[in-house]
């Protein structure tokens, strides 16, 4: 059977790659396979976030990752894909028109559906980034509404950069796989969410050091899953393997891996130096992820040694931004603002510095970066892209969350926040070994307070805790728990000699 080709509208192309020729069956297989792998990144995000938060909120954060797909996917099908890649009458440099409630039965059915699945994975990723910033203090019903409407935040920047007549694309903006469109948009939204929600209870009462992870092992497993998914994220953005696209996909794989090795190495060294010869898990995870975000915009356009430089700088920026946010008391439980926001900006700017004219698919439109004799133009356009995406995502996210805050409320009640979202939202009781409240940090004194936990030596107390909380607080979800009940569930702080 021959591998036939079918003409398709170039407006459906992310990154501008497939605008030069028709798509083949092999290309469609590549697109769908990449989309399926990218979809598994939700598992990675979920494990990473569940490992980074406290144990009383780990189930809730996983549920929010499911919500991102369920409700975000529905709205992306209804209007998000159309505003990004529609090409009917009325399409303009700001947004597309068409492909609403995605369906097709003509000769373009394959490319329409495969592109939709691919872009849906990108859209849900942009929303999931925000869930980490809102962790441990956001009501689930409020987050569901946010996830349902957050498609608005993502779909318009996608058109500006990847739509056939998007105004940034027409000016020469280059964002191969989404450092700006996906990660910077998500990071900017996350920053606004963190500012509106304010820090978790007790977060900065005893310093700015990170709180201990619930499960560092789960967080590392989640990082591996994201790492694997990132290869599909970047390589799949060639949107095929026919012609010269397979060469770009291979190059993207090499630069993606080399950038992450450079960033990870930087994280290990920085942790060893500044953490008194300890290898901090958070440093390692965030440095690897920051480097991956940084290379996403230019992965098919730079050389391997340049990708290492880009990854190292991205990792350093991520770690510095994480510390700065804590100094400013901006509470981001999983470091998403630094990883996706700061590194997303750097990823866009790196295009304007390191890329050179790409002859295979003309991805840069004949432009080169500053370090390859292209002058300042591309760097200026990349800066403009970053400014536009930050302004749009921050403004629309603020409006959306402000409306939710003023109607049904955004943040959990203090008593419920102390109990944890697993118990409050899902009726999952306290388990043996779970700390309930944040602990005061050790002082210079040899004696300091720590939170009591339900330990193996006190099974009865643990069972009573779970029983009391379930019966008195959540039988019919009527009323709020009083402070005496909170104290019984929190248990008593013990003196650690």
Can you spell out the DSSP letters for 302-367? S-HHHHHHHHHHHHHHHHHHHHHHHHTT---TT-HIIIIIIHHHHHHHHHHHH----TTT-TTTT-
pLDDT at position 200: 95
Q: Could you give the dihedral angle defined by the CA atoms of residues 139, 144, 147 and 150, in that order, rounded to the nearest 10 degrees?
A: -80
Residue 288: how many other CB atoms lie within 10 Å:
30
Mean pLDDT of 482-494: 43
Specify the residue for token string 């050389």.
303
**Residue 10, burial from CB neighbour count under 10 angstroms (0-12, 13-18, 19+):** middle
Helices (H) and strands (E) in the chain, counts: 20, 4
Mean pLDDT of 117-132: 92
Angle (CA) 334 335 339, round 5°:
130
pLDDT at position 450: 32
pLDDT in tens, 324-340: 999 999 999 999 999 99
pLDDT at position 22: 65
pLDDT at position 21: 53
What backbone torsions phi and psi does residue 453 show, to the nearest 5 degrees? -130, 165
Alpha-carbon distance of 313 to 320, in angstroms, equals 11
**Residue 492, burial from CB neighbour count under 10 angstroms (0-12, 13-18, 19+):** exposed
**447 pLDDT above the threshold of 80:** no
What backbone torsions phi and psi does residue 24 show, to the nearest 5 degrees? -105, 170
Mean pLDDT of 150-155: 95
Alpha-carbon distance of 305 to 323, in angstroms, equals 28
**372 pLDDT above the threshold of 90:** yes
Alpha-carbon distance of 459 to 464, in angstroms, equals 9
**Where is average pLDDT lowest: 94-103, 105-114, 403-412?**
105-114
Reported confidence tier of residue 457, pLDDT bands at 50, 70, 90: very low
Alpha-carbon distance of 207 to 202, in angstroms, equals 10
Residue 165: how many other CB atoms lie within 10 Å:
15
Reported confidence tier of residue 174, pLDDT bands at 50, 70, 90: very high
According to DSSP, the residues that pair with 496 across neighbouring strands are 448
pLDDT in tens, 48-80: 999 999 999 999 999 999 999 999 999 999 999
Instruction: List the structure tokens of 483.
Output: 């402070």
**470 pLDDT above the threshold of 90:** no
pLDDT at position 109: 85
Q: Parallel, antiparallel, or unpaired: how do β-strands 23-24 and 448-450 relate?
A: unpaired
**476 Cβ partners below 8 Å, 6+ apart?**
none
pLDDT at position 106: 81
**5 pLDDT above the threshold of 60:** no
Q: Directed axis angle between helix 151-162 and helix 140-149, to 10°?
A: 30
pLDDT at position 430: 54
Q: Which of 449, 440, 454 is nearest to 490 (CA)?
A: 454
Residue 180 CA: distances (Å) to CA of 150, 206, 284, 349: 16, 35, 23, 10
**47 pLDDT above the threshold of 50:** yes
Please give the DSSP secondary-structure letter assigned to residue 12: G
Torsion over CA: 149, 234, 91, 5 (sign): negative
**442 pLDDT above the threshold of 90:** no
> Are the CB atoms for 410 and 167 separated by under 8 Å?
no
pLDDT at position 164: 87
pLDDT at position 136: 94
pLDDT in tens, 384-420: 999 999 999 999 999 999 999 999 999 999 999 999 9
Mean pLDDT of 457-485: 43
pLDDT at position 429: 73
Alpha-carbon distance of 150 to 182, in angstroms, equals 12
**Where is average pLDDT lowest: 278-292, 357-371, 421-435?**
421-435
Reported confidence tier of residue 154, pLDDT bands at 50, 70, 90: very high
Alpha-carbon distance of 486 to 260, in angstroms, equals 44
Q: Parallel, antiparallel, or unpaired: how do β-strands 5-6 and 448-450 relate?
A: unpaired
Provide the whole-model pTM: 0.85
Judged by phi (left if over 0) then psi (alpha if -120 to 50, else beta), residue 84 lies in alpha
Q: What is the largest CA-CA distance in the chain?
A: 78
More confident residue, 28 or 456: 28
**12 pLDDT above the threshold of 50:** no
> Are the CB atoms for 43 and 124 separated by under 8 Å?
no
**Where is average pLDDT lowest: 107-111, 131-135, 349-353, 360-364?**
107-111
């Amino acid at each position: 059977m021959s591998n036939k080709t079918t003409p398709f509208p170039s407006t459906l192309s992310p990154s501008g790659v497939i605008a030069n020729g028709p798509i083949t069956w092999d290309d469609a297989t590549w697109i769908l396979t990449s989309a399926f792998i990218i979809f598994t990144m939700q598992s990675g995000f979920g494990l990473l976030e569940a490992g980074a938060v406290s144990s009383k909120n780990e189930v809730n954060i996983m549920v929010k990752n499911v919500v991102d797909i369920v409700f975000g996917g529905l709205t992306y099908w209804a209007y998000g894909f159309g505003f990004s890649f529609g090409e009917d009458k009325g399409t303009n440099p700001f947004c597309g028109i068409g492909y609403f409630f995605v369906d097709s039965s003509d000769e373009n059915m394959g490319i329409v559906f495969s592109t939709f699945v691919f872009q849906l994975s990108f859209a849900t990723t942009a929303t999931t980034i925000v869930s980490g910033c809102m962790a441990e203090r956001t009501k689930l019903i409020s987050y569901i509404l946010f996830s349902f409407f957050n498609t608005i935040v993502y779909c318009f920047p996608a058109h500006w950069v990847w739509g056939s007549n998007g105004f940034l694309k027409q000016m020469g903006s280059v964002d191969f796989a989404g450092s700006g469109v996906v990660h910077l948009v998500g990071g900017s939204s996350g920053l606004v969410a963190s500012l509106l929600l304010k820090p978790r209870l007790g977060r900065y009462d005893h310093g700015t050091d990170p709180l201990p992870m619930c499960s560092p092992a789960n967080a590392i497993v989640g990082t591996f899953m994201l790492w694997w998914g990132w290869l599909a994220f970047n390589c799949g953005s060639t949107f095929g393997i026919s012609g010269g696209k397979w060469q770009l996909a291979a190059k993207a794989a090499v630069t993606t891996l080399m950038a992450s090795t450079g960033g990870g190495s930087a994280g290990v060294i920085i942790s060893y130096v500044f953490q008194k010869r300890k290898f901090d898990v958070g440093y390692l995870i965030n440095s690897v992820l920051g480097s991956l975000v940084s290379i996403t915009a230019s992965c098919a356009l730079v050389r391997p040694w340049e990708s290492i430089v880009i990854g190292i700088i991205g990792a350093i920026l991520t770690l510095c931004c994480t510390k700065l946010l804590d100094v400013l008391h901006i509470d981001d439980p999983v470091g998403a603002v630094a990883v996706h926001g700061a590194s997303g900006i750097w990823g866009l700017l790196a295009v304007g510095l390191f890329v050179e004219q790409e002859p295979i698919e003309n991805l840069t439109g004949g432009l080169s970066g500053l370090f390859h004799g292209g002058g300042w133009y591309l760097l200026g356009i990349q800066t403009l892209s970053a400014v536009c995406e930050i302004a749009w995502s921050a403004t629309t996210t603020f409006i959306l969350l402000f409306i939710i805050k003023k109607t049904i409320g955004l943040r959990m009640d203090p008593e419920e926040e102390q109990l944890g979202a697993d118990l409050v939202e899902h009726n999952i009781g306290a388990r043996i070994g779970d700390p309930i409240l944040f602990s005061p940090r050790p002082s210079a004194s040899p004696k300091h307070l720590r939170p009591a936990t339900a330990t193996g030596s006190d099974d009865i107390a643990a069972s009573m805790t779970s029983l009391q909380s379930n019966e008195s607080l959540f039988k019919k979800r009527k009323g709020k728990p009083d402070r005496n009940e909170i104290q019984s569930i929190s248990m008593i702080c013990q003196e650690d000699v």
